[in-house]
Structure 1
Amino acid sequence: MTSNIPHQRKRALIVGINKYPRNPLDYCLNDAEDLSKALQRIEFDVSLGTNCNRKEFLDLIESFVQVIQRNDLILFYFAGHGRQNQDQNYLILSDYNYDFSTTEENYIVEHCVNVQYIMKKIYDKRCRVSIFLFDCCRNYVRTRAMDMKQGLSPMCARSETLIAYSCAPGEAALDETKNARNGIFMQNLLKHIEIPNEDFEQVLKSVARDVKAQTDGFQLPYRTSSLTELVYLVPHLVQGQTYFSTAFPFFVKHDLKGVLKYIG
């Protein structure tokens, strides 16, 4: 029997960039594509961008936010280069190529995309939950040089928002792989993200534990959250049952075959 409770949509914007004029990366496209497939299996509506330049990225954001509704769960993921600049965070797109015509601080403002711009576009839609995953600031070299501002700076999570970094603020994630396909953060996220009845903050704790172990403590994912309820990306269901969570009201209808796909 079909439930008469309105369906709460899950929507994701996933972006991966390998192709840079300088310092190209190896695994970001795979990470974005594999996450997109995993989210589609758990009934997300996914928009995917690969090797976007700045204009393509801004157009993608605009198209994505136009269809967000009030009760949606929104997930944004970016894999590529990112950088902090005067305590603001910027995502670097595929056409970024500093030409020394001005200071790089000014060039970044004009040629990158401020993370706060993306967040505000989504916040203004007043969706139910916002999740931001930043798998960027990738580096081939294991370094903790004190004179380098690596990685993104910490950000505060607005109401019902979770922000997660693949490494600690001010540090760089490793552009390494343990499975010859994915970055270390994504490899471990893919192991956990389709598990039914798992609060997403617990998923990220498991990912952080695994990343820390695989990198001997060098890389440790970080998160900040203002969520007031549990968030299940994959509800636990039995045959013929419509899901109703008193912890967080996302309503989805599945049969047992669909659930077995996730757990076995």
Structure 2
Amino acid sequence: MARKALVIGNNDYTNIKQLKNPINDARTISRILNLKGFDVTLLENLKLEAFLRKLNEFGESVQESEELVLFYYAGHSVQLMDSNYLLPVDIMKDLAIHENIESGSVYLGDVTNALNKSNGEKIVILDACRSHDFTQEIIATNDIFNKGLCEIESSHGMAVIYSTQPGNTASDGTKGSNNGCFTEELSKNISQYGLTFSEVVVKTREAVLAKTNYKQIPWSSNSISRDFYLDNIVFPGDLIAEIELPSNGIDTISSSYSNVFISTQKRQLFIFYFVSNITSIEDGRGNVIRYRGGCPHMLEPRLGNEDYINEALFLNDDFMLGVSEKGYVYLYDIQGMLTEDCYIDSSGIPRIDYTPQILFDDQAGESLFCISSVENHVFVSGSSGALYKLEVSDVNGKIKVNSFDSIVVSKNHITSIACNELSGAICVSDEHYIYFIDNNFSIINEIFVRTSNILHSDSLGFVVASNDYNICFFDDVGQKIKNKVSLELKQHPLRDVCISDLYVTSLDIVDERYLVLGTNKPSILMYDTSLNSIVNEKFLDIHMTSPFYSSVYDLCSYQEEYLFSRSKLNHFGIWRLDKI
């Protein structure tokens, strides 16, 4: 979708009273629109020549195919003979001479004309009726001037939003505020997801009315025939497939760029190739009977001793590691598996017999639960609270362990591991604490948090999702909390009985920005860390066989275009992530 915006803020007037917040307002709106997928041009303190030139350039750049074009202006403006003018910073001082206004400012009609080339929706937002002494003097001595701006008739497909009602002036912001009253409330609402543009306008109006005690009433003239959203991502998007596996339940899901790996309760392993090619085949009555493309291959793992995989990690598209209940780290050669003969079983799934290589044996026989990696080191955790560091190398396509080290981190088993590739720092968690470990494999910090999951992001640092529905953002070495977010607790709409202990069961990240959380409601929630806003929460099927399985314990994003999650007891869903 093509979306374009021109955002202008004028503060530093040379001949009339300067303003405090328009540039802050323009920067605030510009940042949000950028994050919402707009191609934004931000301009500040424009003189007349530059104002007219940039407006003309923007108008020339607008295409008929643009689905949404937006103009935002914050600064001085005047109304002259029922016409509105936006004032450049070099406007002449003697505004009582109306020729100075007509020749020295920007006619609002030129702005609307610049947008009209688009066949899509057009939005003009004016936080421009700022209080100023010079207009009072002009109005008192000239009946051709009026206070504030006048309402103009918007052309078809256009909405004009004013910071206050016709004939009134707007607040440039309260003491201690970096934004004007209108833009401060507008920015809060356009940052939210799931609001139509009409809802954004209404909510902004209500907030400004409450804040100013009805002294400032945002106004609008709207000729848009349909409602629309400013959102840049649709979550969870289209459900591409919901595939049933012949199993009692799914233990873990992990992915590389080309493959998705699933481990089940029956010691079955599934590998999916070319997920983006999956299409459904229906029986003529709308019922999906099977899927074509991206077909799963079932692996007979031959692990022995009734062993099974607790968690898996792709080193790359060629090799995958799995930590097991019996204390082994197994190595899977993906390309090697593809050369094995396969046959079609009774469920229609290609079956491959395969024996993975044992890469590491902890010699203690304790269960290994978690695995993570950074550069040439792989970290795995045991049920006793031990953390193992394996130095691995790839020699002529063969993965081997060169050395290993271990440290006892906790008295309880470790539930999650995250690594920082740049600093070498590691964060691990048990049920009650998170521990930060430096690149010398020594514990440097320990914090009490009822942790459920952790991850590391280059842009966000260490991200910790706690069992009280809080998300904590730590710096890259785990020494301080940068930010803390409390998510809204919502019960599943189809549950008759409320769950008293809601918590996060899984955590992933998309585009270094969107956190994707699985919960025990069960649901999948996406949170935009840039806009500090929940994108959406998708509630899943509650008809599970036990409370344990009514949680989303596994999530993974595939090529940052698809999301995988267990959607039912033995089903997993594939959702497309639709982004602008």
AA matched with 2:37: E
Paired residue for 1:188?
Answer: 185
Q: Which residue of 1 aligns with 2:149?
A: 152
For 2:164, what is the secondary structure of its paired residue?
coil
| Aligned-pair identity (%) | 29
- 1:86 equivalent to 2:70? Answer no
- Contact kept in structure 2, 1:151 and 1:169, CA below 8 Å: yes
CA distance in 2, matches of 1:186, 1:19: 19
1:30 is aligned to: 24
Task: Report the structure number with the largest CA radius of gyration.
Answer: 2
Quote the residue 1:63 is aligned against: 57
Q: Which residue of 1 aligns with 2:91?
A: 96
Residue from 527, 538, 546 that aligns with 1:260: 527
Matched residues in 2 for 1:159 and 1:61: separation? 21
Asked if structure 1 preserves the Cα contact closer than 8 Å seen for 2:186 and 2:204, the reply is yes
Q: In the aligned structure 1, how far is the partner of 2:53 from the partner of 2:136?
A: 36
Unaligned runs of 5+ in 2: 240-509, 516-525, 535-580
SS of the residue 1:167 aligns to: coil
The CA distance in 2 between the partners of 1:32 and 1:128, in whole Å, is 23
1:108 alignment counterpart: 101
CA RMSD after TM alignment:
2.5
The 1:209–1:53 alpha-carbon spacing in structure 2 relative to 1, beyond 3 Å, is same
User: Match for 1:9: what amino acid?
Assistant: A
CA contact (8 A) 1:27 1:182 kept: yes
The Cα shift of 1:235 comes to: 5.7
102, 123, 129: which one aligns with 1:131: 123
Distance in 1 (CA, whole Å) between partners of 2:41 and 2:107 is 20
> Deviation of residue 176 (structure 1)?
2.3
Deviations 1:190-244 (A, max 9, x none): 11102222111110110010001101110010001011111100166224649xx
Match runs of 1:161-240 below 5 Å: 161-177=158-174, 180-234=177-231, 237-239=234-236
Instruction: Tell me, yes or no, if the aligned pair for 2:60 and 2:114 is still in contact at 8 Å.
Output: no
Bigger relative contact order (CA 8 A; separation at least 6): 1
For these two proteins, the number of residue pairs brought into alignment is 242
Displacement of 1:177 in angstroms is 2.5
Distance in 2 separating the partners of 1:121 and 1:182: 27
1:74 and 1:224 map into 2 onto residues whose CA distance is: 16
Q: For residues 144 and 66 of structure 1, what CA distance do their matches in structure 2 show?
A: 37
Deviation, 1:33, is 0.5
CA deviation profile, 1:39-81 (whole Å, cap 9, x unmatched): 0011110001100001111111122122211131001011001
Q: Which structure's residues are more often strand, by fraction?
A: 2
Q: Structure 2-normalised TM-score?
A: 0.39
Whether contact under 8 Å (2:69, 2:118) holds in the other structure is no
Runs of 4+ with >3 A deviation:
143-148, 239-242
1:20 counterpart = 2:13 = yes
Contact 1:179 1:187 in 2 (8 A): no
C-alpha distance in 2, partners of 1:75/1:121? 11
1:98 partner SS: coil
Inter-CA distance 135–223: structure 2 relative to 1 (3 Å threshold):
same
Contact kept? 1:14, 1:46, Cα under 8 Å: yes
String of CA shifts for 1:102-123, please: whole Å, max 9, x gaps: x521110010110001111221
Determine the C-alpha separation between the residues in 2 that align with 1:153 and 1:240.
42
- What letter is aligned with 2:91? Y
- Residue 47 of structure 1 aligns to a residue whose secondary structure is strand
**Which one has the bigger helix percentage?**
1
CA distance in 1, matches of 2:236, 2:161: 34
CA shift digits 1:113-154 (9 cap, x unpaired): 10001111221x13301000010121168x999957211111
Unaligned runs of 5+ in 1: 1-7, 243-253
Inter-partner Cα distance in structure 1 for 2:37 and 2:231: 9
* CA distance in structure 1 between the aligned counterparts of 2:224 and 2:163, rounded to whole angstroms: 19
